[in-house]
Structure 1
Amino acid sequence: MADDHPHHADDHTHDERWKHDGVRVIKGDRLDPNTAQTPGMFRQAAINHARVGAQKIWAGTVTIEPNAKTGVHHHGALESVIYVVRGRARMRWGERLEYVAEAEAGDFIFVPPYVPHQEINADPDQPLDCVLVRSDNEAVVVNITDVEPVEKPEAVYWVDPIHRPPE
């Protein structure tokens, strides 16, 4: 019987690779804390290039302590999705952070590219737990220091070489 589907040498290698490197399950207790950290927030990567070879997406978790806030920033061309697992999130955005919205457990937040924003745990007593997904592996964070935020951050500075504190 003739083979109707010609195979190339690469096809076999590709076919075999997906069998072993196809779907990945990342256990919740195996997340990677080796990611940008901010005082009052704890981020962990689940899906990125280093862990699973992801080319176009980053996903992980963030726990934000009560009353913690980021400084004003945006993520360049990246799109971000935040899913609130527990707690109450407040997002401020706009040129003067003049817009505000809150989300609670079960809600999704979408942050478009280049939108200046500030992430806030709106609960003074409980941590905020979220799942975060970004449209690329790049750790793009552009701090904006010339905006007077409506809610001032609590001396929140990025602590890795990519995110330097203001001078």
Structure 2
Amino acid sequence: MASLLPLIQDILPMIIPASITVTKAADILPPVTEANGDGQERSKVQVISRNAVVDKTDKMCASVLIVKPKASSSVRHYGEQGTLLSDASEAIIYAVLGKGAILSPPKDEGEEPGRHELEQGDFAFIPAWTEHQAVNECEEGDFHLIVIRSGGHPVEVNLTDWGGAEVKVNNKQSQ
């Protein structure tokens, strides 16, 4: 019976077609803004993470990560999706807009983190459990990334620093 399960999973979509799901940009919440001293609005949140496509399949999901100028995400890794090591979440990151970098852990204590420059149109592959950090060191212009992960919903483990403890965050929509 167990040998029929993969066959059924392959045939079922042909028998009962699934529907296409679209997430509109307007449905991905905009950043919170505040008025600054000169009367213009600026974002209070420096790193914005929004789910785009989640829980539609158990195989993949997508989210949007926006890093404001002179800001960086927390150090993070994409931990396990389930209980098996084979369920660990890998990710592909696509740079949609702007310039920035993905940092990786320093090889030795006291060294600078590894640096992987990204600009519009570039891709990065993040293996499961690999610590990384998105940074935007530009003076102006947001750094927009699409993060496509294995697993039906995003798993993101924020850390206090490289190799640091897990940060418990209640607000899943930012940082």
Superposed pair shares fold, TM > 0.5 = yes
Residues 44 and 145 (structure 1 numbering): CA distance in 2 closer, same or farther, change over 3 Å?
closer
Residue identity (%): 26
Amino acid at match of 1:25: V
Partners of 1:45 and 1:143 lie apart in 2 by 16
Query: Is 1:112 equivalent to 2:121 in the alignment?
Result: no
Look up the match of 1:133: 148
Match of 2:160 in 1: 145
Question: Residue 59 of structure 2 corresponds to which residue in structure 1?
Answer: 56
Amino acid of the structure 2 residue aligned with 1:27: K
Residue 91 of structure 1 aligns to a residue whose secondary structure is strand
Asked whether the 8 Å contact 1:44–1:62 carries over to 2, the reply is: yes
List per-residue Cα deviations over 1:47-102 (Å, max 9, x = no partner).
111xxx22121112222111111222211221111111111121110256631111
User: 2:54·2:153 contact (CA, 8 Å) conserved in 1?
Assistant: no
Do the aligned partners of residues 63 and 158 (structure 1) sit closer, same or farther apart at CA in structure 2, a change above 3 Å counting?
A: farther
CA RMSD across the alignment: 3.4
In structure 2, how many angstroms separate the alpha carbons of the residues matched to 1:134 and 1:146? Answer: 22
Residue equivalent to 2:6:
none
* 1:70 equivalent in structure 2: 73
Matched, 1:45 2:41: no
Question: Is the 2:100–2:119 contact (alpha carbons within 8 Å) kept by the matching residues of 1?
Answer: yes
Alignment correspondent of 1:92? 103
Q: 5+ residue gaps in structure 1?
A: 1-10, 34-38, 150-156
8 Å CA contact 2:101–2:118 kept in 1: the answer is: yes
Counterpart among 97, 108, 116 of residue 101 in structure 1: 116
8 Å contact kept, 1:47–1:54: no
The letter of the residue matching 1:29 is: A
Q: Which amino acid in structure 2 is aligned with residue 47 of structure 1?
A: V
Taking structure 2 as the reference length, the TM-score comes to 0.63
Secondary structure of the residue aligned to 1:22 is: coil
TM-score of the superposition, structure 1-length normalised?
A: 0.66
> Is the Cα contact below 8 Å between 2:76 and 2:157 reproduced in 1?
yes
Q: Number of aligned pairs? A: 137
Q: Partners of 2:146 and 2:125 in 1: how far apart?
A: 12
In structure 2, runs of 5+ residues without a counterpart are: 1-10, 31-44, 80-87
Distance across 1 between alignment mates of 2:130 and 2:124: 13
